Structures are given as structure tokens and as C-alpha cells.
Structure 1
Amino acid sequence: MQIQNIETFQTAIPLHTPFKTALRTVTIAESIVVKITCEGGVTGFGEAPPTHVITGDSLASIDFAINRVFKPLLLGMDIDAREQIFEKLHGSMVGNPSAKAAVDIALYDCIANAASTPLVSFLGGYRKEIETDYTVSVNTPQEMAADARKYIDNGFNVLKIKVGKDQIEQDVKRIQAIRQEIGDDTLIRLDANQGWNAKEAVKAIRQMESLGLDIELIEQPVNAYDIEGLKYVTDNTETPIMADESVFSPLDAKRILENKAADLINIKLMKAGGIHQALKIATLAQAYGVECMVGSMIETKLGITAAAHFAASQPNVTRYDFDAPLMLTDDLIQGGVTYEGKLIRLGTAAGLGIKKINKQYIINQQ
């Protein structure tokens, strides 16, 4: 079944509340959407948001990579020979992981649609539903405590707290304020987004441990390239440490796992270049007995549907960070996963189950 056409659409949907981390503030979810059409009318969709400070991808670079590099290479190829397709896709450019991910996701959607099976079943079918956390943006301790209370009242029982934007003493105050507001029954995990150095991280984490703040895990406390610093934090604290920005590729994961530099790995399709490479990371981590989270950027329900299907298919993916669509004022797509509060149902439709793109959010098309 040959690939006949590859189209891209630039889209934008406002967030109802600004999303703030140590690295950036986001108010609009922008993305490049990919549609691949194969023989017999089989179609697949993918998405790539620009995340300059993490992946280096911009709207312009994503669009250029897809239309000027990937499209000429892939047109006419047979999706039944998917290993050849993915080899060509990932070998065609250095970097550009989000652009690769969008095309990769659309290809997997085509493949599963052609097989008339949900993508989660095609990939392994380990689970049919999962539960997401909800992210508390970095703000003042009082604002973050109020936000945490709101999310708990809305039925979420796992919160991901953003820290690392300023001095560690302020981060400790943030977590204290949140714990005082929501009590001890809620699971909380922290994400520093590379905001500390190794010694600062150990000091902050030990202080939180001594205060009994009961943190489930700390995500990416140090710079992505500071593997020695990441290992130092992991070795000198009791709280589990998760690598995020330090792991883009299977080779990155191998380096972390071999050096025992982190206790957990956060896999994101937009870092890995899509499902094909993400599967390799998950399999490698499983071989080392390491559990994974699957997270996301500020993506619409299109990208999150793909990430959820991948995450639910793998036995060692035990944590899910898929709240981004809940931050948007509307859905980009009709179909895909369904949310019931924290619960995400994958459904039984073939592929990703995407019915159509809501045209009012399309800015331009190629």
C-alpha cells in the first residue's frame, strides 16, 4: 500500500490558563499537523508542536523538514515495508525529532488503520485505559497551593509540580504550601526542568525529605547534558530521580541506564522522533528493570492520542502525563482518546480513531 500524499496544516488553539515552567511560558498551543494518504484512501494523522527550548524545533523548521526533506523521500514507498520507511525517515536528517515524530505517528496511524485495529493493540495492547496526572504551573506558593486544591477537587489524585525557576528555598516553600493545602493523600511529583545544579538539587531534595513532604519522584533536576550531575543527585538522595531532557534517543537511554544515572525515564514522542524510536527506549529500559513515564509537550488531543496508545501498549510504562488537552480551550480533532476526568479511554476504533480536524483552528495548509 503505497504512500500517495503528505500534507501539512499549521494550527493554533489558546490555553485557558498560561502554562509556566522553569524554561518557558505558553499561552497558545501551536503545531504542525501531518496527514498521510495511502492507496485505497487509508489516511493517518500526526502532530508536532514547536518546543524551541527542549527539542530545538520551530514551526518553520518542522514544516521545512516534512515538506522539503521527508515528503520527497517517502512518497511512493509501501507502508508494508515499515522498517525501510522508518530507516529512511530517521536517517534523512540530524535532529528535528518533533518533525520526525509527526510523520512517524501518521505512518503508524496508517498502518493500524490498514490493519483495522486500534494502534494500542497493534503495538502490544497491554492496557485499554490509563490515568493522567495534572500539572501545577510554577507560580507563588499561594497560587500553586490554590491551583493544586482546584485540581484535586476536580478528581485528580496525582499532581506534577513545576519547580526550578528561582532559588531552591522558594521551591521548598511551594511544596510546603501545596502539602498544607491538599494533605498527604495526594501523590505529588516534581519537575525542575533542568532548573538546579547537582549540589542545589541534593540540598533541596534532602530538605524536602527531612520535612516529610513525601515526593514520589523528581524529574530532570539538572542540565540535560550533565549526566554526572544527574547520577550525583540519584546517588545522594532517597527520592527516585527521573531523566527527561537527558533522554532523546535509545543511545541516550543506554548511557543513563548503564551508568545508573537515574531511577526512571520519561519518554516523549517529540524527543524520541516518534513511536518507532520510543519503543526501543521502552524495551531497553525494561531490560534494565527500569520503569518509564510517557509525557508530552503542550500538544493537542491528536498528539496525546498517539502518546497514550504507545504508553498503554507497554508493560513498563507505569506513569502518564497527558493533561495538555485539558489545558486548551477546545479540541483540535474529533475522535481520538476520551477523557473522563483523570481517566483516559483509548477506544476500539482503528488506528488513532481520529475522525477529522476541526478546520477553524487551521491557519494555513500545504
Structure 2
Amino acid sequence: MARPHWRDLLMADFSPESARAAPLTIVRVEAWKVRMPYLAPMQSSRGRLEVGEKVLLRLTALDGTVGLGEASIIFPARDGECADSVFRRLAEVTGPLLLGQDGARIVTILQTLAGLSSERHAFPTSLCAIDLALHDLKARHLGIPVADLLGGATRERFALSRSMAMPDERTAVQSACTLAEMGYRLLTLKGSADWRHDIRMARAVQRAVGASARIEIDPNQAWHCKAALAVDAALQECELECIEQPCAWWDIEAMQLITERAHAPIAADESVLSPADAMRVVRARAADIITVKLAKSGGLRASSAIVAIAEAGGLQCNLGSKHTLGVGSAALLHFAAAHPAVGEFVGYGSALERFVGDIINETIDIRDGQARLPPGPGFGVTLNEEAIARFSLASADLSAERARAR
């Protein structure tokens, strides 16, 4: 006897009668893969990008409430997720599973989706879009900001850091001075495999900006242990805020050695995707700082766990972004607002800092290198349908009615 399809099992209990008892029953799931050109090419040790590909998610509940989510990708991470795979997973696997579910039961839904894989922390980027959309949905239904759903805002203004490439001294100095004049007080210098070049560029940038901005350097795993310690020694006079992920994510022993011997604080970024990774780094003392990014870790809930683990272990937390568009940027600010353990600087404020446009109707308020928390319920942003149509490469529209029709 043939086993019933999982979609049939899911929809078996869905009916208008049962849905009336749960106003946040999810009746529509929409996803878009969008491509947004950068204002200027993005360069790091991983490569060069002229466009960013992101995946957007919109959930609609029985009572008409909507919730927005975003999965942001720069380069495929160590889990292998890319924009294409995230979009297909949302459209073909997890999206259909959301139909008929009570959107207010965030933890239950996320636990169920995590159980689809033998690896509990698999597919974090696609899970991030769902996590954000569920939190936005519930907060909008309650008429409160997402920050309040997470415990309440402890601040509403956020100093921003900006990353910049260092292809040559003239370009690096010009970029750094421009950003400092715009009010950015922390510059993240993107390192390369040529660590001697990075030393020269960092010194030139520090001389140019002086006390107007602090600097940190992020080679995105491009160095080996000896190179990292050589850079640290050479740049002591620069008083680096940190050296972020100097070596391969999996080389915890090297990270531990660098952390033990370096003068500058060491941050773990690619080494920490999940709360389990955070525990591993804390136990090994393989970093002084953990860089938290919603998109790489599965969203607000898992990222909150990472912050709690870091705080309990005596490590600081930085907050990065993966170059989000408007929905992800707003989510980042709400997360920062509700987590005082996150450091002074947020790694992003608005898509308009980097991209030619955005996909939200609102403009996140940025002045003098500071972002303001978007007001209103949920994340405080709404999708711009014209922008979605302009930048979308693919779309999926799932509804409970269509699922029953199958």
C-alpha cells in the first residue's frame, strides 16, 4: 500500500473550522529570489561580486496579518547554501509545510522544521527567512515591535561599522576617509591571502583616519596561524578592534593558539554557525569575540542562544549582516535593540549603504553613522511590490486552497 504524501498528511487536519480557532493560521506562503546590484563591486578574499542575491519570504495568516523574512547570502557558506537552493527549499519543502500551521507557535514550527534533517542545525539560511517571518507575523498581530517580542528594546540608536576593500593604498585611503567623513566610527578592512599587503594597507588607513575611526581587519579565513600572528605583531600600534576569522573555520586549534598569543582580540565568524559551534569555541577559548549573523545561524532564536552562550562564557559579541536588504536590515536592528550583550557597533544599517535600491517602502533612518530602530509593529517595514517585480528572478506562491486542490 502506497504511503500518503507528506503534503496530504499536513493538509488532513486543515479546515476552515479548525483555522477559525487560530487567527494566525498560515494560509499563504510567497517567496522571491531577487538580484540587487551593488553600488560598487564587493571585494573580499573570497572573491568579487557585482550583484547580491537574496531570498524574501512573506507569510499571510487567516486574519490577514503578514510576516516578512529574508535569507541573505554573499558567498555560499560552509553549509553550501546559496540563493538558488534556499529559494527551492522554501518553495518546495518548507513552504508547503507551513501552510495550515499556527504562526503564533514559533518554537514548535522551528523545531519541526529542524527535525527534517538528521543534522539539527542544517539549512540555517533558509530557516532564517522562516524564523524572521514568524516573529514579524506574531509581533504585527500583537501590535508590538519584534524587539518587544524578544524582551524589549534597550536602545534605539546603533553605531554602524562599514567594511571596505584594500586593493591598493590610494583606493583604501580614499574609501576610509570618505566613510569616516560620513560618520562611521569603525572600519572593517577586508584582508587577503597577501597578508604583507594587508599590513601596508592597514597602516596607511590608520594614518589617514587617525582618531576619527577605529579599524579591524577581516581576512575571511585567508591566513594561516603564523601569518595571523605576524599581522597582529606588525599592527600593534594601530590598536585593532579585532582580527576576525584569521584562519579556516574548522581549525579550532589554530584559532585557540592565535587567541592565546595575539595582542588584538580575535573574533570567530565562520567558525560559529550554530549554538553548538559557539559552545565549542567557548570551551576551547578559541576566540575573544563571536560574530553573530542572523542569516548564517537560522534567525533570531538561534542567534539569541549564541549570544547567551557567549555571554555566559565571558566572550563578547559583534553583530554582522551578510549584506541584507531592507527586511533583514530591520530584523538586525531589532535583534541588536533587544540584546545588550551585543557590542556597540552593528555591521549594517540599510541596504542603501551598499546597493542601488531596496525592496521595502520605508527608508531606515541613518544619520552620522548611526541607524535608528524602525518604528511600528513587527520589523516596521513593508514590501515594495514594484521593487520586487523589478529585481525578482523567480517567485513562488503557495496557498492552502491550492494545496487542497492538489
TM-score scaled to structure 2, two decimals? 0.86
Conservation of the 8 A alpha-carbon contact between 1:241 and 1:264: yes
Q: Secondary structure at the match of 1:67?
A: helix
Which structure would you say has the larger Rg?
Answer: 2
**Which residue number in structure 2 is paired with residue 198 of structure 1?**
225
1:362 matched to 2:392: yes
Conservation of the 8 A alpha-carbon contact between 1:337 and 1:344: yes
Q: Count how many residue pairs are aligned between Structure 1 and Structure 2.
A: 363
1:184 matched to 2:214: no
**Which residue number in structure 2 is paired with residue 270 of structure 1?**
295
For structure 1, the residue ranges without an aligned partner over 5 or more in a row are none
1:103 matched to 2:154: no
Shift of 1:155: 1.7
Q: Deviations over 1:303-333 (max 9, x none)?
A: 1111221122101001310056201111221
In 1, the alpha carbon distance for the partners of 2:82 and 2:195 equals 31
Conservation of the 8 A alpha-carbon contact between 2:32 and 2:55: yes
**Which residue number in structure 1 is paired with residue 265 of structure 2?**
240
In 1, the alpha carbon distance for the partners of 2:363 and 2:320 equals 17
Q: Deviations over 1:172-200 (max 9, x none)?
A: 10011111211134211111100101111
1:343 matched to 2:365: no
Conservation of the 8 A alpha-carbon contact between 1:291 and 1:316: yes
Q: Secondary structure at the match of 1:60?
A: helix
Q: Secondary structure at the match of 1:41?
A: coil
**Which residue number in structure 2 is paired with residue 147 of structure 1?**
175
- Choose which of 251, 256, 264 in structure 2 pairs with 1:226: 251
In 2, the alpha carbon distance for the partners of 1:204 and 1:155 equals 27
Over 3 Å off, 4+ runs? 50-53
1:64 matched to 2:88: yes
Conservation of the 8 A alpha-carbon contact between 2:349 and 2:364: no
1:8 matched to 2:59: no
Shift of 1:289: 2.6
Shift of 1:121: 1.7
Q: Secondary structure at the match of 2:38?
A: strand
Aligned CA RMSD, in angstroms, stands at 1.5
For structure 2, the residue ranges without an aligned partner over 5 or more in a row are 1-23, 397-406
In 1, the alpha carbon distance for the partners of 2:158 and 2:208 equals 27
Conservation of the 8 A alpha-carbon contact between 2:148 and 2:338: yes
Q: Deviations over 1:311-360 (max 9, x none)?
A: 22101001310056201111221127322242111133000112222332
Alignment of 1:1-366 (within 5 A): 1-54=24-77, 55-93=79-117, 94=119, 95-124=122-151, 125-163=153-191, 165-209=192-236, 212-318=237-343, 319-322=345-348, 325=351, 326-335=353-362, 337-357=364-384, 358-359=387-388, 360-366=390-396
* 1:172–1:299 distance in 2 versus 1, CA, 3 Å: same
Conservation of the 8 A alpha-carbon contact between 1:336 and 1:352: no
In 1, the alpha carbon distance for the partners of 2:104 and 2:394 equals 31
Shift of 1:205: 0.7
In 2, the alpha carbon distance for the partners of 1:205 and 1:71 equals 46
* 1:185–1:51 distance in 2 versus 1, CA, 3 Å: closer
